[in-house]
Structure 1
């Protein structure tokens, strides 16, 4: 089961302390306040929900849009 775009954005927003509407899908997540520990936390959260998520895959993709394409298949 793939993650939805809304879930990915909401979880990123929560990790950086922003509203989901405040996440710019095309800007680097690092510039929006997501650090490596935040990425680890998100990967663990999504794995605990049954998703196949690899920390190193996420680190290699700098934007939320790229995460959506990888994780939601959009």
Structure 2
């Protein structure tokens, strides 16, 4: 079990083994997810842009810049 201490500024250091397990590097973000039983789960909130590939389908019909401009007129 890993234990961390909260500083007076509200900061904690995630133990090295947990950082490695989550694949965290300096500058990465983590998300604290509230679970139904009142506990929390720490999840790595950053991922490579490459992980997003294929997430959104390619449109069947392309849209022109002019059509986009008409759909969102400026104020």
More helix by share: 1
Bigger radius of gyration among the two? 2
Higher relative contact order (CA 8 A, sep 6+): 1
More strand by share: 2
TM-score, normalised with respect to structure 1? 0.25
